[in-house]
Amino acid sequence: YGSVTARFDGMSYFSGDPNFCPECGNVLPVPVTSNTVLCPRCSFCIPVSEFSGQTVKSSVVFNQLTPLLVLKDDRDSDLKGPVVDRRCSRCSKDGMIYHTRQMRSADEGQTVFFTCIHCRYQEKEDS
Protein backbone atom coordinates (compact mmCIF):
# COMPACT_ATOMS: atom_id res chain seq x y z
CA TYR A 1 0.00 0.00 0.00
CA GLY A 2 2.77 2.44 0.71
CA SER A 3 5.90 2.10 -1.35
CA VAL A 4 8.87 0.43 0.32
CA THR A 5 11.83 2.71 0.92
CA ALA A 6 15.20 2.26 2.56
CA ARG A 7 15.50 3.26 6.22
CA PHE A 8 18.19 5.84 6.93
CA ASP A 9 18.62 7.63 10.26
CA GLY A 10 15.12 7.14 11.64
CA MET A 11 13.26 7.50 8.37
CA SER A 12 10.40 5.12 7.83
CA TYR A 13 10.17 1.93 5.81
CA PHE A 14 7.07 3.15 3.93
CA SER A 15 6.32 6.37 2.13
CA GLY A 16 3.47 7.56 0.02
CA ASP A 17 -0.14 7.71 1.12
CA PRO A 18 -0.47 9.49 4.49
CA ASN A 19 -3.50 7.34 5.40
CA PHE A 20 -1.11 4.45 6.06
CA CYS A 21 1.35 4.00 8.88
CA PRO A 22 4.87 4.85 7.68
CA GLU A 23 6.34 2.12 9.95
CA CYS A 24 4.21 -0.96 9.25
CA GLY A 25 1.90 0.04 6.37
CA ASN A 26 -1.32 -0.47 8.39
CA VAL A 27 -4.32 1.81 7.76
CA LEU A 28 -4.26 4.68 10.25
CA PRO A 29 -7.44 5.42 12.22
CA VAL A 30 -9.29 8.71 11.85
CA PRO A 31 -8.17 11.18 14.55
CA VAL A 32 -10.98 11.80 17.02
CA THR A 33 -10.14 14.00 20.00
CA SER A 34 -6.42 13.69 20.70
CA ASN A 35 -3.60 15.64 19.06
CA THR A 36 -1.94 12.46 17.78
CA VAL A 37 -2.86 9.45 15.66
CA LEU A 38 -1.72 6.11 17.06
CA CYS A 39 -1.25 3.12 14.76
CA PRO A 40 -3.23 0.19 16.23
CA ARG A 41 -0.69 -2.32 14.94
CA CYS A 42 2.76 -0.99 15.80
CA SER A 43 1.92 1.97 18.08
CA PHE A 44 3.60 4.49 15.75
CA CYS A 45 2.45 7.96 16.76
CA ILE A 46 2.05 10.89 14.37
CA PRO A 47 0.78 14.42 15.13
CA VAL A 48 -2.67 15.30 13.78
CA SER A 49 -1.12 18.44 12.25
CA GLU A 50 0.47 16.15 9.61
CA PHE A 51 -3.03 15.65 8.19
CA SER A 52 -3.98 19.33 7.95
CA GLY A 53 -5.35 20.40 4.59
CA GLN A 54 -6.35 16.87 3.58
CA THR A 55 -9.86 16.09 2.43
CA VAL A 56 -11.32 12.67 3.13
CA LYS A 57 -13.74 11.38 0.49
CA SER A 58 -15.53 8.07 0.45
CA SER A 59 -18.18 6.51 -1.71
CA VAL A 60 -20.17 3.32 -1.83
CA VAL A 61 -20.83 1.74 -5.22
CA PHE A 62 -23.58 -0.83 -5.44
CA ASN A 63 -23.87 -3.23 -8.34
CA GLN A 64 -26.92 -2.21 -10.27
CA LEU A 65 -29.34 -5.07 -10.81
CA THR A 66 -30.47 -5.27 -14.39
CA PRO A 67 -32.82 -7.95 -15.65
CA LEU A 68 -31.37 -10.40 -18.10
CA LEU A 69 -34.47 -10.21 -20.25
CA VAL A 70 -36.48 -7.03 -20.75
CA LEU A 71 -39.50 -7.26 -22.98
CA LYS A 72 -40.72 -4.05 -24.61
CA ASP A 73 -44.43 -4.80 -24.51
CA ASP A 74 -46.25 -3.40 -21.44
CA ARG A 75 -48.29 -6.57 -21.00
CA ASP A 76 -45.01 -8.48 -20.58
CA SER A 77 -43.60 -6.03 -18.00
CA ASP A 78 -43.76 -8.73 -15.30
CA LEU A 79 -41.59 -11.04 -17.43
CA LYS A 80 -38.20 -9.86 -16.21
CA GLY A 81 -35.41 -11.97 -14.87
CA PRO A 82 -33.01 -14.76 -15.71
CA VAL A 83 -34.06 -17.16 -18.46
CA VAL A 84 -33.28 -20.84 -17.98
CA ASP A 85 -33.34 -23.75 -20.43
CA ARG A 86 -36.51 -25.32 -19.10
CA ARG A 87 -39.28 -26.70 -21.32
CA CYS A 88 -42.78 -25.39 -20.69
CA SER A 89 -45.20 -28.20 -19.87
CA ARG A 90 -48.01 -26.40 -21.73
CA CYS A 91 -46.50 -25.19 -25.04
CA SER A 92 -43.33 -27.40 -25.03
CA LYS A 93 -41.05 -24.48 -25.95
CA ASP A 94 -37.74 -23.85 -24.21
CA GLY A 95 -37.14 -20.72 -22.16
CA MET A 96 -38.65 -19.87 -18.80
CA ILE A 97 -38.04 -17.00 -16.40
CA TYR A 98 -37.72 -17.89 -12.74
CA HIS A 99 -37.81 -16.31 -9.30
CA THR A 100 -37.70 -17.81 -5.80
CA ARG A 101 -39.74 -17.24 -2.65
CA GLN A 102 -39.49 -18.61 0.88
CA MET A 103 -43.01 -19.98 1.23
CA ARG A 104 -42.47 -22.42 4.08
CA SER A 105 -40.47 -22.33 7.29
CA ALA A 106 -36.85 -21.18 7.20
CA ASP A 107 -35.44 -24.69 7.64
CA GLU A 108 -37.04 -25.86 4.39
CA GLY A 109 -36.05 -25.04 0.82
CA GLN A 110 -37.36 -22.19 -1.29
CA THR A 111 -40.14 -22.47 -3.84
CA VAL A 112 -39.06 -21.71 -7.42
CA PHE A 113 -41.64 -20.14 -9.72
CA PHE A 114 -41.19 -20.49 -13.50
CA THR A 115 -43.01 -18.45 -16.16
CA CYS A 116 -42.90 -19.39 -19.83
CA ILE A 117 -41.70 -16.49 -21.98
CA HIS A 118 -43.88 -17.71 -24.88
CA CYS A 119 -47.30 -18.55 -23.39
CA ARG A 120 -46.91 -17.08 -19.87
CA TYR A 121 -47.85 -20.39 -18.23
CA GLN A 122 -46.63 -20.55 -14.63
CA GLU A 123 -45.25 -23.56 -12.82
CA LYS A 124 -43.79 -23.97 -9.36
CA GLU A 125 -41.21 -26.33 -7.97
CA ASP A 126 -40.52 -26.94 -4.29
CA SER A 127 -36.88 -27.54 -3.54
Count of helix runs (H) and strand runs (E) in the chain: 0, 8
Strands (E), the chain: 3-4, 14-15, 36-38, 45-47, 83-87, 94-101, 111-116, 122-126
**CA end-to-end span of the chain:** 46
| Residue 39 among known ligand-binding residues | no
| Residue 42 among known ligand-binding residues | yes
| Residue 88 among known ligand-binding residues | yes
Sign of CA dihedral 31, 37, 38, 44: positive
Binding-site residues: 21, 24, 42, 45, 88, 91, 116, 119
Binding-site residues for Zn(2+): 21, 24, 42, 45, 88, 91, 116, 119
